[in-house]
Amino acid sequence: MMQAWRNDEVGARFGAAADLYEAHAPIQRMAAERLASDIALLPLPPHPRILEIGCGTGLLTRALARRIGPADWTVTDIAPGMLAAARQGAALPGIARYQLLDGEHPAGLPGGYDLICSSLAVQWFADLNAGLGRLAALLARGGCLAVATLAAGTFQEWQTAHAAAGFAAATPPYPSPAAILPDCGNLMGGVRSERLIQDHPDGLHFLRGLKGIGATTPAPGRPPLGAAQLRRVLAAFDEQGAGVTYHLAYGMWKKANNRPAGVFVTGTDTGIGKTLVSAILARAWNADYWKPVQTGVAEEPGDTETVAQLAGLPPERLHLPAYVLQAPLSPWAAATLEDTVVDATSIVPPATQAPLIVEGAGGLYVPIDDSHMMIDLIARLDMPVVLAARSGLGTINHTLLSLEALKRRGIPVLGVVMSGPLSAGNKEAIERFGEVRVLAEIPPLSKVDAQTVATLASGIPPLAECLQTLGGAPAVAG
């Protein structure tokens, strides 16, 4: 009953602000555009079924329509005023319906959505992860849940001003990005974050902005301050500079599809040790091996032969590349030289009984053909990634950039394998700032042979254990 009252209160305050909302919503507009840009990178089907939660006046709706085009839209909000404002916007391409809905408890919806999205609305859920889990249950297989929300540290300056005046702020508590995880066992994905600072002339301007967007419902159990108390808080706020920090968390998760069990091995660069990592994983997980696109065979044997020797794989555990090219260049460049046509969309994984180790060519943004990069192939194959990285100088930047690119596409990362002289500092930085597990560190090797690979493989965690950390593991054969 209390939650229903709170939902009514939140809806009423946002609805009353519908006419003025966009004039006071620069952060909301920025978050919607960035979330829409991330969503546009997802492999959505033509004319996708889209459910939007908390549409407000339509900032995300319009940003998506510009990028995605025709779709089957179900646009919802808890506030009638906001829903009416969104409906009055430009007609959406495709089929559009507008519906009053409590997004935390989405009763009566048919499900089967290719995309469920929300920008700066789900932070009002009483139980964020449970609410996200209920939304995820409405996804089609292979469908994506994409949200922008507020994270811990938001409004820290306002809270500090309250503490300086001897009070506790009524702002809601927000979770850390790492704590945002939908209660749904068959999702894979993660959360990336950013920090934005909005400067105000003074505290009154900040409060008017919150009122302008309707975000004035206090946290449960936190009554608003009296006039004299508020003046003390405003004085403390103005004294510290009147700037406000927003910590934004962008969550992107995909509902498990009929993907092959296993991983895609890619790297932060070329010559990074992907083939050795692939051999170690194939040995550790008793897996098959497949290199979809092999280049450079004019100068050295293909990676399939190397992995077979190092991992001790019999012929039946090896799968032929879809394309073999002579020049040691990107597939796109090599195919151009050899007057060959490579089509990334024609690459289909082999049927396997065992887990499958797929090794890419180069890094994430190596072009395969005229319009597809390696990251596009990873997304289409719908497999988690193991990222091969160096251990030395520069690896933090290269690794974090690669992890950020994968997160933006909603591609889950099983872990990182670092090669080179051991560096505890670089390992800690990658795990902390990349929010990822370092599965193994490969020291400099005087000899690389089957025995070396077997020794290194013995330290790799089981595949099923690694997959469980992604929020849901498929059945693993072998």
Q: Is 291 marked active-site?
A: yes
- The residue behind tokens 């450079």 is 296
- The residue behind tokens 């001003």 is 161
* Cα separations in angstroms, 329 against 37, 52, 436: 30, 43, 30
Is residue 360 annotated as involved in ligand binding?
Answer: yes
Give the span between the Cα atoms of 141 and 143, in whole angstroms. Answer: 5
Is residue 275 annotated as involved in ligand binding?
Answer: yes
10 Å CB burial of residue 229 (0-12, 13-18, 19+) is middle
Quick one: CA dihedral 236, 239, 244, 247, positive or negative?
negative
What angle (nearest 5°) sits at the alpha carbon of residue 110, between those of residues 109 and 115?
85
Burial 414-437, CB ≥16 within 10 A → b, else e: bbbbbbbeebeebbebbeeebbbe
Is residue 356 annotated as involved in ligand binding?
Answer: no
Is residue 189 annotated as involved in ligand binding?
Answer: no
Is residue 295 annotated as involved in ligand binding?
Answer: yes
Is residue 420 annotated as involved in ligand binding?
Answer: no
Catalytic residue among 291, 407, 427, 447: 291
Residues 406/414, Cβ–Cβ less than 8 Å = no
User: Residue 86 is encoded by which pair of tokens?
Assistant: 């969104």
Give the span between the Cα atoms of 226 and 336, in whole angstroms. Answer: 72
Is residue 443 annotated as involved in ligand binding?
Answer: yes
Is residue 230 annotated as involved in ligand binding?
Answer: no
What angle (nearest 5°) sits at the alpha carbon of residue 230, between those of residues 224 and 233?
120
CA atoms within 13 A of residue 140's CA, in its CB half-sphere: 12
Is residue 444 annotated as involved in ligand binding?
Answer: yes
* Cα separations in angstroms, 109 against 102, 412, 438: 11, 28, 40
User: Residue 453 is encoded by which pair of tokens?
Assistant: 């690979």
CA atoms within 13 A of residue 340's CA, in its CB half-sphere: 20
**DSSP class per residue in 328-386:** SS-HHHHHHHTT----GGG--PPP-SS-EEEEEEEETT-BSSSS-BHHHHHHHHT--EE
Residues 61/119, Cβ–Cβ less than 8 Å = no
* Cα separations in angstroms, 166 against 203, 217, 232: 17, 21, 9
Is residue 274 annotated as involved in ligand binding?
Answer: yes
Is residue 271 annotated as involved in ligand binding?
Answer: yes
Residues 140/49, Cβ–Cβ less than 8 Å = yes
Burial 215-225, CB ≥16 within 10 A → b, else e: bbbeeeeeeeb
Give the span between the Cα atoms of 197 and 439, in whole angstroms. Answer: 35
**Numbered residues of the known binding site for Mg(2+):** 275, 303, 359
**Numbered residues of the known binding site:** 271-276, 295, 303, 359-362, 443-445
**Numbered residues of the known binding site for substrate:** 295
- Residues annotated catalytic, as ranges: 291
**Numbered residues of the known binding site for ATP:** 271-276, 303, 359-362, 443-445
